[in-house]
Amino acid sequence: MFVSENLNVNGKGNLTIGGTDTVELAEKYGTPLYVMDEQLIRKNCRRFNESIHKFYGDKGRVHYAGKAFSCMEMCRIIGSEGLGLDAVSIGELYTAVKSGFDVSKIGFHGNNKTDEELRYAVEIGVGHIIVDNISELHRLEKIASEKGKRPHIMFRIKPGIDAHTHDFVKTGQIDSKFGFALETGEAYEAVKEAITCENVELYGLHCHIGSQIFDIDPFEEAAKVMLEFISKIKNELNYEIQGLNLGGGFGIKYLNEHDPQPFEVFMERVSKIVMSECEKLNISRPFIYIEPGRSIAAPAGITLYTVGARKEIPDIRTYISVDGSMADSPRYILYKSEYEAIVANKADEKRTECVTIAGRCCESGDLIGENMLLQHAEAGDIIAVCATGAYNYSMSSNYNRLQKPAVVFVNNGESRIAVKRETLDDIIRNDI
Ligand code: LLP
């Protein structure tokens, strides 16, 4: 009935998430409010974990991409499910460290890491640093030698695959700011240099072709291209690449018409390609990593708002204004991303109106969504926007000096705050 499996309607006609009444959550914690369902996060982690082991055996690990949604509580949950972490800034690393996350299971990313970030990553001993470019390799060599350490690195490679998704979230093609190009020989030259480096160990290769991808073919293609490169390195340079990270990007259901393949199908197909290519190319099977972010976090989350003004413009449209905005829900203004919305306190009623949900920022483009089919909404009603668990809280801002909402986790009918709502003093905390 709803886009995410954890949503339902209770006897009062209210929307529930993971069995918890969303209207009660809005009353208890206020709105706007991010709500994350712990059980669905855990279930998604287990499905990825179980399928990588089922189809590829022991030589596989799932790294959750923290950019999708990160806070200390999320790191604790991910860690307790045995997943590793893809971190992309010193802030994400610090969050993980402070939460007690096993740093040896962190892959550290970034196309322009600062020296401070590299030093921190080397100091804490992250599992791998995913090196994006040659100058980073040189800086890391120097930092590692100063610290007397020999970090394991992977090279981020652009496999030259065009994934069919939004231009802003495509990353695998040659015209991308991320990684070393294969076509130009740039990646090969970098590998040649890295294997002679004294202070870093070239452990693996990494690729990520984009995000919100439904088609499994480009993932298979990318895996083939990467394995061919591994084989070339073995044959020509006599060097064995041990790890291969195939990135994240698995599409999820935001609208009822979306029909992503289950993760299990993805894992089965990609594992088969890796195994058959390794046999064909006569190379040993690498340790495989995947980095799902959205597919673990997005379906587990919703955002709750309270309706304020209602503006009916005859023959044009009806605006329903809510107490949130592009500051907490930035994906519509950025990508025109569509979501399912529900009037949470009327979830058992028919959807009778096609409305535009507007945010409260001083900006016309600040919409939560257009042409959304909703139950009749009046001031004081609660609107739930579904599948917002990824790239909403993590991309939120203080535009218009708005306070960021709280994040609440629900778990089998219980709720708890994981991130407090910002106060007015938080807004001026760094002002002098
Ligand atoms: N690994 C790497 C190296 C990545 O760059 C990303 C996402 C992921 C894994 C996780 O991808 P996922 O499974 O979450 O699709 N802000 C955009 C998405 C940007 C994705 C950036 N990289 C959005 O809201 O759609």
Tell me: the pLDDT tens digits for 66-111? 999 999 999 999 999 999 999 999 999 999 999 999 999 999 999 9
- Ligand 1 atom closest to the Cα of residue 130 is 3
Q: What is the pLDDT of residue 170?
A: 59
Asked if residues 108 and 128 have their Cβ atoms less than 8 Å apart, the reply is: yes
- Ligand 1 atom closest to the Cα of residue 293 is 14
Of 182, 123, 217, 91, the closest CA to residue 109 belongs to 91
Share of the chain above pLDDT 70, in %: 98
In this prediction, residues 338-355 reach a mean pLDDT of 97
Residue 386 among the catalytic residues: no
213 Cα–ligand 1 center, Å:
10
Binned at pLDDT 50, 70 and 90, residue 132 comes out as very high
Q: What is the CA radius of gyration of the chain?
A: 23
Q: What is the pLDDT of residue 336?
A: 96
73 Cα–ligand 1 center, Å:
20
Q: DSSP letter string over 46-97?
A: HHHHHHHHHHHTTSEEEEEETTSS--HHHHHHHHHTT-EEEE-SHHHHHHHH
212 Cα–ligand 1 center, Å:
8
* Catalytic option among 71, 197, 207, 362: 362
Please tell me the distance from the alpha carbon of residue 275 to that of residue 270, in angstroms, as a whole number: 9
- Ligand 1 atom closest to the Cα of residue 292 is 13
249 Cα–ligand 1 center, Å:
6
Q: Which of 61, 294, 335, 337 to mutate to test the pocket of ligand 1 (most atoms within 8 A of CB)?
A: 294
Helix (H) or strand (E) holding 140: helix 134-147
- Ligand 1 atom closest to the Cα of residue 213 is 15
Helix (H) or strand (E) holding 202: strand 201-206
136 Cα–ligand 1 center, Å:
22
Please tell me the distance from the alpha carbon of residue 76 to that of residue 59, in angstroms, as a whole number: 23
Average pLDDT, the chain: 96
Task: Return the residue whose CA atom lies nearest to atom 6 of ligand 1.
Answer: 248
**pTM higher than 0.85 for the full model?**
yes
Give the residue carrying structure tokens 């090279």.
Answer: 155
Q: What is the pLDDT of residue 167?
A: 61
Q: How far apart are the first and last CA of the chain?
A: 51
Q: Within 6 Å (CB) of ligand 1, which residues are found?
A: 65, 67-68, 86, 109, 169, 208, 211-212, 247-250, 291-295, 331, 335, 390-391, 395
Task: Return the residue whose CA atom lies nearest to atom 19 of ligand 1.
Answer: 169
The one-letter code for the residue type at 333 is: I
Please tell me the distance from the alpha carbon of residue 157 to that of residue 223, in angstroms, as a whole number: 11
268-281 per-position pLDDT tens digit: 999 999 999 999 99
**Residue 161 pLDDT > 90, yes or no?**
no
